[in-house]
Amino acid sequence: MAESEAVAPRRRVGRRSGDSETREEILTAARALFAELGYDGASVRAIAARAAVDPALIRHYFGDKQALFATAMAERSAIGPRLGEAFAGPPDQLASRLADAYLRLWEDADTRPILMALARSAMTSREASRLMRDTLTTRIRDVGPMPVIGEPAARGLVAAGAQLFGIAVARHVLEMPGLAELTHDELVELVTPTVQHHLDGPGH
């Protein structure tokens, strides 16, 4: 009795104290099973079993299976580092660097499917959209000396990001004439002034 109790707690159903550790264990299990069995073959149940957690915990941390897949891929991808790099440099060229870095990730065959999967999950799952919001809010805060998301000073950054997202979806998902046929550089040139306008904020 005492022995089983000593073993059970770490694997108990529900939230554990080591939140980020559990999250990492789920991601490690997901990467292993997606690699072994492919997207369709790896079930959330099997991933939960491999990570020794309740499947409900996967839903809690990641939303749906597509979002788990996208997160597992995104965290080993160039997405975070490249966006992070874009924030470094002269502030008056931040818009151009951000537009270039973000839209280039959509051009890149390695990262486009991940961004697409993240966008699809956020559009179709409430859990996934909540997690996307939390990630964007926290990550952007981690990037460097940026205004905290939620404070008025960060509104321009959020508006700029929303605009870039809309442009990327119109180009790559809807393939809208007018945007789809531009080169990457032309597209960056087209959107940079309005991104800069949002970053500068009202009154500029």
Q: What are the phi and psi torsion angles at 181 (to 5°)? A: -95, -5
Catalogue the long-range contacts made by 40-49 (C-beta closer than 8 Å, 24 or more residues apart): 44/68
Q: For the CB of residue 36, give the shortest distance to its own copies in the complex, in Å.
A: 26
Q: For the CB of residue 60, give the shortest distance to its own copies in the complex, in Å.
A: 18
Q: Which residue's CB is nearer to its own copies, number 46 or number 170?
A: 170
Q: For the CB of residue 104, give the shortest distance to its own copies in the complex, in Å.
A: 17
Q: Who's near 167: CB < 8 A, 6+ residues apart?
A: 103, 179, 187, 191
Residues lying near its own copies in the complex (CB under 8 A) are found at: 119-120, 122-124, 129, 132-133, 136-137, 149-150, 152, 154-155, 157-159, 161-167, 169-171, 173-179, 190-191, 193-194, 197-198, 202
Q: Which residue's CB is nearer to its own copies, number 93 or number 124?
A: 124
Q: Which residue's CB is nearer to its own copies, number 48 or number 99?
A: 99
As a whole number of angstroms, the distance between CA 8 and CA 104 comes to: 47
Q: For the CB of residue 39, give the shortest distance to its own copies in the complex, in Å.
A: 15
Q: Which residue's CB is nearer to its own copies, number 22 or number 62?
A: 62
Q: Which residue's CB is nearer to its own copies, number 58 or number 122?
A: 122
Residue 166 token pair: 């809309």
Q: For the CB of residue 174, give the shortest distance to its own copies in the complex, in Å.
A: 5
